[in-house]
Amino acid sequence: MTARSESIAIDIDDEQMSGTFLSPKSKVPGVLFVHGWGGSQERDLERAKGIAGLGCVCLTFDLRGHAGTGIPLSRVTREDNLRDLLAAYDRLIAHPAIDTTAVAVVGTSYGGYLAAILTSLRPVRWLALRVPALYRDQEWLKPKRDLDKADLMDYRSTLVQAETNRALHACSVFTGDVLIVESETDDHVPHATIMSYRAACRHTHSLTHRIIDGADHSLSDPVSQQAYTSILVDWITEMVVGERLSIIQSR
């Protein structure tokens, strides 16, 4: 947990000693986790617990249509789940302990795609994308399950220009810090998609790209799971906690 620093003078006889009060910050960073299509908050919970231990308030949640919540998965549209994400974000920043200028969003696959769009609708300081998926802007209100999978793979296998895609355009104007994590043997999100996101992030404060060797899309290998956890926690520590320390040290 970081601390607020205040320089003071302590009177003793006719002299003064210099001192520094260190007290807990009144506000802390918030971290919002967004799971992938067909997933749930379950996998995010363990990572969120670790990051909460760094002095952050974390929120995990189940998108509607997932984990037996809300409307049937077969009827869920991208608009539905984007509204879910907006509601979760608004709930997070309503937490009394949150510093609303210090929000990180961590999205996986479909959740990464939605998280990228979120940055154009709400203030986000740090954006972590693991194997972010990509979809055409067309048929936004069509149930996601009914989208043409073969067409999607063709689309993802090309370098998509930021100006032609809502999620990539949001990345192109994002000025915070970005982490992109790629799986080496991903058969859902090919390398071209990762490079489309990376190319779009041209105005970011910093961009970190990591590849998990031998990992598939869902990180089915426990070793790959641990590798991702280490990458994410190290990055959150550097970005979120590290910034707080630099503020104190600059005073």
Q: Is the pLDDT of residue 148 over 90?
A: yes
What is the model's pLDDT at position 106?
98
Between CA 124 and CA 171 the distance in angstroms is 11
The residues spanned by each domain of the chain are: 31-242
Summarize the confidence of residues 206-223 as an average pLDDT: 97
Residue 242 — pLDDT band, cuts 50, 70, 90? Answer: low
Residue 97 — pLDDT band, cuts 50, 70, 90? Answer: confident
CA nearest to 239, candidates 126, 129, 130, 128? 126
Q: Is the pLDDT of residue 70 over 70?
A: yes
Residue 248 — pLDDT band, cuts 50, 70, 90? Answer: very low
Residue 115, Cβ neighbours under 10 Å: how many?
A: 27
Summarize the confidence of residues 184-190 as an average pLDDT: 97
Residue, of 251 and 203, whose pLDDT is higher: 203
Between CA 12 and CA 76 the distance in angstroms is 69
What is the model's pLDDT at position 79?
96
Summarize the confidence of residues 15-35 as an average pLDDT: 78
For the whole model, what pTM was predicted? 0.89
User: Tell me: the pLDDT tens digits for 231-240?
Assistant: 999 999 999 8
Between CA 135 and CA 155 the distance in angstroms is 8
CA nearest to 50, candidates 246, 243, 230? 230
CA dist list (Å): 209 to 143, 191, 231: 31, 12, 10
What is the model's pLDDT at position 180?
98
Of 28-32, 145-149, 204-208, least confident by mean pLDDT is: 28-32
Summarize the confidence of residues 209-228 as an average pLDDT: 97
Residue 67 — pLDDT band, cuts 50, 70, 90? Answer: confident
Q: Is the pLDDT of residue 249 over 60?
A: no
The highest-level CATH class for domain 31-242 is alpha beta
